[in-house]
Amino acid sequence: MFPSLSLSASMGQGGFSWPVALSGAGAIWSIGASLSQPLFHGGALAAQRRAAMNTYEASVAQYRQTVLAAFQNVADTLAALEHDAQALDAANTAARSAQGIFDETSGRYRLGAVPLSSARASEQQFRNAQLDEIRFTSARLADTAALFQAMGSLPVEADGKQRPRATSETASQTGSEATKAKSGDLN
């Protein structure tokens, strides 16, 4: 489609005897230029240009789709986290309520006011509420991991430094601190 321009030059030495070949009289040189333009290619060059432009446009569209999918993935995981927070809050409230009912029923059983079956039923409701609380906590942690994956990196703290990756030692320390906090041994 566009003209082709080529330039060439060469220089050398030549002669039938050594003194002539090594002197300035034996210098050989040439300079050349050529310009060529295709006259007729049956539209092949225009088709190649259109194909290149279409390939570029397809690459741009694919990039846009990838970016939109990434934003959609982050938005979906944020919505799931919001839902998980609400469900976990409701499960916490239900567990506290079930614990209160269980404590009251077990106290009444010790006084002989209710049968053992009522005490066991309230305990079963309390234990099921605790299991639901654990399930919702697990779902929230899984969605938090999905958010990190969707974002492509670890969260950044306020000072601009990236949080260190958790190792098995730090995870076990965090788990033991959480256990102490629940049992009331943590100062």
Cβ atoms of residues 101 and 127 within 8 Å: no
Q: Is residue 50 part of a domain?
A: no
Q: Is residue 187 part of a domain?
A: no
Q: Is residue 46 part of a domain?
A: no
Q: Is residue 146 part of a domain?
A: yes
List the chain residues with pLDDT less than 70: 1-2, 13-26, 39-40, 154-155, 158, 160-187
Task: Give the residue numbers spanning the domain of 96.
Answer: 67-152
**Domain check: are 27 and 77 in the same one?**
no
**Domain check: are 147 and 77 in the same one?**
yes
Q: pTM here?
A: 0.54
Q: pLDDT tens for residues 53-102?
A: 999 999 999 999 999 999 999 999 999 999 999 999 999 999 999 999 99
**Domain check: are 25 and 71 in the same one?**
no
Q: Map residue 71 onto helix, strand or coil.
A: helix
Any bridge partners for residue 9, and if so which?
31
**Domain check: are 145 and 78 in the same one?**
yes
Average pLDDT value for the chain = 81
Q: Report the alpha-carbon distance of residue 57 to residue 63 in Å, rounded.
A: 10
Name the domain count of the chain: 2
12 Cβ contact partners less than 8 Å away, ≥ 6 residues apart: 27, 28, 29
**Domain check: are 80 and 22 in the same one?**
no
Bin 3: left if φ > 0, else alpha if -120 < ψ < 50, else beta.
Answer: beta
Amino acid at site 89: D
